[in-house]
Structure 1
Amino acid sequence: MRPDQHARTMLPIPDRPRPGLTTYDAKDPDTSYPPIEPLRPPEGAPNVLIVLLDDVGFGASSAFGGPCHTPTAERLAAGGLTFNRFHTTALCAPTRAAMLSGRNHHSVGMGSITETATSAPGNSSLKPNTKAPLAMTLKLNGYSTAQFGKCHEVPVWQSSPMGPFDAWPSVGGGFETFYGFIGGENNQWEPALYEGTTPVEPPRTAEEGYHLTEDLADRAISWIRTQKALMPDKPFFAYFAPGATHAPHHVPQEWADRYAGRFADGWDVQRERTFARQKELGVIPPEAELTPRHAEIPAWDDMPDDLRPVLEREMEVYAGFLEHADHHVGRVVDAIEDLGVLDDTLIYYVIGDNGASAEGTINGAFNEMANFNGMAALETPEFMASKLAELGSPSSYNHYAVGWAWAMDTPFQWTKQVASHWGGTRNGTVVHWPRRITDSGGLRSQFTHCIDVAPTILEAAGLPEPTQVNGVLQSPMEGTSMLYAFDDADAPERHDLQYFEMFGNRGIYHKGWSAVTKHRTPWDMVGGSAIAFDDDVWELYDGSTDYSQAHDLSAEQPERLHSLQRLWLIEAVKYDVLPLDDRTADRLNPETAGRPTLVHGNSQLLFAGMGRLSENSVVNIKNKSFSVTAEIEVPASGADGVIIAQGGRFGGWSLYAKEGRLKFVYNVLGIQEFATEAQATVPEGTHQVRMEFVYDGGGLAKGGDVTLFHDGTPVGTGRVGATQAMVFSADETTDVGYESGTPVSPDYSPRSSRFSGKIHWVQIDVGTDDHDHFIDPDERLRIAMARQ
């Protein structure tokens, strides 16, 4: 093996021409230059595949004793190592930002999700340029890099089609190829996709058999094959991060039907079964105890009899979704094996970016957005029963009940978001690398954390941490390489100090001990108030004898608890965790949160063809009066199609023409639809059409009156009985002249939604009265100039 000649601590690696004789004539026999050699990592650097599933609890997959079949995870575990004390941050975007940088989530500005970013450094959602991502380091050392799936690390004010794209995977993230979605979740049947930074449509429809996870696997397989066909001597770094199994739980019916009747005994019994299986497999210690159910989580026996079939189906759909995701991970692994490079590929299969999600309410949800809007009461048991057969299908946006999330986190307390307890942060992880790992099927119980992945990969590749990237001095990685544990099951753990914090839920791990305090309950999303931080009750656990945090020792050892509390505070100061922030509504409002907003003022001017505009890219029309005005050209054949639409099938509004008549539809969560239609057709030629909504006031989510106009003349009136208070969608967007994703109204489909005429402009005005119901050219110019 020849020595590496590159100075890799400074990236990009500086070009250093070698001095020597320069001849006048290339034919001179003394003319000599070394051949051009493409940049490659050090010899022996492995291919790397990171698989990161979403919202999977420790006790969900069969590889860790759960009820959901994951044969790919089992196969990789049999040929590799199982880590049963691997930890995440308790939430998706923070885990991803931490894992891909090797730094704690507050260190890279991702104290929570991007939608709740504040101006505090630890919660800004802005990654400092002193903390270059792993993919960038690998690319600048000669790796091919690609990401497929979810990216939730783009600040919301940078998520529009105009960027800036510094935080997008294929620009600042270091991935040469990106195919996936920007945001926390996506419709698995009709996703909003990007290729690089360009919006693209799915290659097929749900009716034609499309599913996002399969599409992502197809793309990953194609890229890996192409990379090895064209650059067989160059290693790849592939990051496969499907939206599965984050809500909505979407999966082909036959996968859910495999679990029919399997969950009839409920979540309490399921935890007992999983716990017994975990002991049998040896993925938890023999002395581990099953933690009890907290009073905030209902017992299965206390659930209404008529709701139980719905609850069963929720879990059947989820289990099918997880098995389906594992199947497509298996296809990617098979492709690597078929190429003959599996032995030379380091695979991290991280089964969940946090604990199982308890964001689906006590009863579960047909449309999870109901809970996010504080409107879960609309989904009555009777309503849920009427939708049982649709769960998992394109007509649903479903989530399972809190009790199932608790069961999927067996044997631990609590769930996703609760960073204090292992139920929120401990995720089953498998590592497979035949060329290096000799203890096939081995168990590793050293404390590890998602920030350890990046330094492990660098050490495996023989690469140093860069001290400078793109001219910026880098801060050290905060994780610890796990490579030492690959070789020795009994090696003393090297990562022995780690803080945790999410929404005020916080904890500290130090040399086997953990001190923790739960501050907020995950499913209480809207309303309510948390107690003062100083009034939180701390618990103390001895991890050397208490794997599952079952025995609180705080009363017996108060001095040790106080020592760990102080240590938490020291770590919190060190990594920008402070100030603690448990606000809800204030963090959703950009002005009070202190983050930039793309949209300013009370008016916004849009143009035909603009689309895929996230909710943060459009003026907020919720809980207030607003109007939508458009100047359109109507052809002789008449007006038909979407003028502007926001949201989709599971919540939103649309102004469109149907058979020549203007129509406005407000869709509340896919549960209620309010339509207003003009009494006359829009004449041929250029006209101004307008919709005015007069909000009732008196609180959030109220209704209002609708009036439609042609050129300032009223042509129709109607009534919207209720509105959505907080958010329309996590994945649907605003489009002008067509509608992408799912349609707000069944009157059209995305493929038939394109407007038949020409749209000159569309203007949205909020909270203002324009009594002539007409926008003249001078006013439109003033609005446009005011936004420069």
Structure 2
Amino acid sequence: MIMKTQDKIQREILPIPDPQHVGVTTFDAKDPDTYYPPITPLRPPKGAPNVLIVLIDDVGFGASSAFGGPCYTPNAERLAAGGLKYNRFHTTALCSPTRQALLTGRNHHTVGMGGITEMATSAPGNCSIRPKSCAPLAETLKLNGYATAQFGKCHEVSAWETSPAGPYSAWPIGSGFEYFYGFICAETNQYFPSLYEGTTPVELKKTPEEGYHLTEDLADHAISWVRRQKALMPDKPVFMYFAPGATHAPHHVPSEWSAKYKGKFDQGWDKLREETFARQKQLGVIPPDCELTKRHPEIPAWDEMPDELKPILARQMEIYAGFLEHTDHQVGRLIDALADLEILDDTLVYYIIGDNGASAEGTLQGTFNEMVPLNGFGQLETLDFMQANIDKFGTPAAYNHYAV
């Protein structure tokens, strides 16, 4: 709260300094004209918009249909049709650095995030600790009168500070977000996530059999939060950061979403990249004289892959495509909620389709459980094993990742 004075609010200083009363504080019953300026809520400058940042995880430039990809993302397309579409938008090649840079407006080394938090060292610029001199965007907006909330992934907390015991200075609630519902790590199970509300662990109220999926849950909470804010304080702008775990592995999605893509990747990755490249030229997201890069020599030609493995590789992409479309649908629900509240036209929306490009962690044959090869036991996932479990990809029984 601030007191009304004739002086302008000094927004270049945060926290905004308390107003100073000049004179002796008294109240004299004999003087009915004794007066002090009323205390009023702090608000941003007139006309300040609502802000929504959506950050999708591990999506390549050629995945979304908004950029010529094979994965249908109608909500990204409709936002692009009504706004601007960037085809030269720079991220880092890793998760934590991109996110820390995005949330602070600084170079990732400046904010201590030269790599992911789990690989931090004591070296300056790579320690995973944001300097106190670098204020997060959410903190700046909150101190200027915004309501702030984060939903989904937070991968900017030093590994030794991620437990429920804290400290919480790098958690969302310590970084300017008044409300947080999500997870504090690189990835989580989409059916059985490890979630926090604020700093309190969450016990899920539904099972996958009852229809639970993390991205839907995050969208539900985001929609409830913004409706509550606008019902109680309609004139107070909001800053929402919606960063689902999707489409980072594990690639979990209800079967009806992946079923839409049955057979659509049977042509293999060489043909797919040619098709995507042609569509991108048609859309104008790449120059008309652009040439398709050669396939990396470490990646085999599709025709060289074992015929027995090809259906498994195609199935992995069907699931991923369904996962991305499902994610876009949840973003669309949030956008529709803003429209229903009649605040969409007053909202600045950033839809970032990929924090660092597509993931290469799935090996050349993909994984049924991505943790198996990461722990050095990739030989356990034999061709016979993958064939026997092909129908379980994308379900709660798997922790799958597509091939590189």
**TM interval, short-chain normalised:** over 0.9
Is the contact between residue 256 and residue 318 of structure 1 (CA under 8 Å) also seen in structure 2?
A: yes
CA displacement at 1:31 relative to structure 2? 1.5
Is the contact between residue 169 and residue 178 of structure 1 (CA under 8 Å) also seen in structure 2?
A: yes
The aligned counterpart of 1:615 is none
Partner-residue secondary structure (3-state), 1:237: strand
Q: Partner letter of residue 177 of structure 1?
A: Y
The aligned counterpart of 1:320 is 322
Is the contact between residue 54 and residue 244 of structure 1 (CA under 8 Å) also seen in structure 2?
A: yes
1:24/1:86 CA distance change after superposition, 3 Å? same
Q: Does 1:12 align with 2:12?
A: no
The aligned counterpart of 2:111 is 108
Give the Cα separation in 2 of the matches to 1:104 and 1:78: 30
Give the Cα separation in 2 of the matches to 1:48 and 1:34: 31
CA displacement at 1:25 relative to structure 2? 2.9
The aligned counterpart of 1:243 is 245
Which is richer in strand?
A: 1
CA displacement at 1:272 relative to structure 2? 0.7
CA displacement at 1:9 relative to structure 2? 1.6
The aligned counterpart of 2:171 is 168
1:344-402 C-alpha deviation (Å, 9 max, x unpaired): 10000000101100100000000001121121111111111111000000000000001
The aligned counterpart of 1:782 is none
Q: Does 1:122 align with 2:98?
A: no
The aligned counterpart of 1:78 is 81
Partner-residue secondary structure (3-state), 1:305: coil
The aligned counterpart of 2:3 is none
Out of 263, 268, 271, the residue aligned to residue 269 of structure 1 is: 271
Give the Cα separation in 2 of the matches to 1:22 and 1:358: 67
Give the Cα separation in 2 of the matches to 1:27 and 1:340: 51
The aligned counterpart of 1:375 is 377
Give the Cα separation in 2 of the matches to 1:45 and 1:261: 48
Q: Partner letter of residue 108 of structure 2?
A: H
Partner-residue secondary structure (3-state), 1:81: coil
Is the contact between residue 365 and residue 401 of structure 1 (CA under 8 Å) also seen in structure 2?
A: yes
The aligned counterpart of 2:186 is 184
Give the Cα separation in 1 of the matches to 2:384 and 2:30: 88
Give the Cα separation in 2 of the matches to 1:181 and 1:246: 13
The aligned counterpart of 2:234 is 232
The aligned counterpart of 1:303 is 305
Is the contact between residue 70 and residue 322 of structure 1 (CA under 8 Å) also seen in structure 2?
A: yes
Is the contact between residue 4 and residue 42 of structure 1 (CA under 8 Å) also seen in structure 2?
A: no
User: Which structure would you say has the larger Rg?
Assistant: 1
TM-score (ref. length: structure 2): 0.97
Out of 21, 26, 41, the residue aligned to residue 44 of structure 2 is: 41
Structure 1 residues 344-493: aligned runs within 5 Å:
344-402=346-404
1:119/1:23 CA distance change after superposition, 3 Å? closer
Give the Cα separation in 2 of the matches to 1:177 and 1:57: 30
Unaligned runs of 5+ in 2: 1-5
Partner-residue secondary structure (3-state), 2:101: helix
The aligned counterpart of 2:139 is 136
CA displacement at 1:121 relative to structure 2? 1.2
Is the contact between residue 178 and residue 195 of structure 1 (CA under 8 Å) also seen in structure 2?
A: yes
The count of aligned residue pairs is 400
Structure 1 residues 438-587: aligned runs within 5 Å:
none
Give the Cα separation in 1 of the matches to 2:29 and 2:194: 55
Out of 291, 298, 303, the residue aligned to residue 289 of structure 1 is: 291
Give the Cα separation in 2 of the matches to 1:184 and 1:24: 58
CA displacement at 1:55 relative to structure 2? 0.1
Partner-residue secondary structure (3-state), 1:7: coil
CA displacement at 1:29 relative to structure 2? 2.5
1:265/1:370 CA distance change after superposition, 3 Å? same
1:201-244 C-alpha deviation (Å, 9 max, x unpaired): 22211111000000000000000001111111110000000000
1:149/1:351 CA distance change after superposition, 3 Å? same
Unaligned runs of 5+ in 1: 403-788
CA displacement at 1:8 relative to structure 2? 1.2
Is the contact between residue 139 and residue 145 of structure 1 (CA under 8 Å) also seen in structure 2?
A: yes
Q: Partner letter of residue 43 of structure 2?
A: R
Q: Does 1:28 align with 2:31?
A: yes
CA displacement at 1:23 relative to structure 2? 4.6
Q: Partner letter of residue 200 of structure 1?
A: V
Partner-residue secondary structure (3-state), 1:83: coil
The aligned counterpart of 2:149 is 146
Give the Cα separation in 2 of the matches to 1:107 and 1:243: 25
The aligned counterpart of 2:225 is 223
Give the Cα separation in 2 of the matches to 1:76 and 1:169: 27
1:613-652 C-alpha deviation (Å, 9 max, x unpaired): xxxxxxxxxxxxxxxxxxxxxxxxxxxxxxxxxxxxxxxx
Give the Cα separation in 1 of the matches to 2:370 and 2:332: 29
The aligned counterpart of 2:161 is 158
Structure 1 residues 57-72: aligned runs within 5 Å:
57-72=60-75
Partner-residue secondary structure (3-state), 2:173: coil
Out of 197, 203, 228, the residue aligned to residue 195 of structure 1 is: 197
1:156/1:56 CA distance change after superposition, 3 Å? same
CA displacement at 1:20 relative to structure 2? 5.2
Give the Cα separation in 2 of the matches to 1:120 and 1:248: 31
Give the Cα separation in 1 of the matches to 2:72 and 2:7: 44
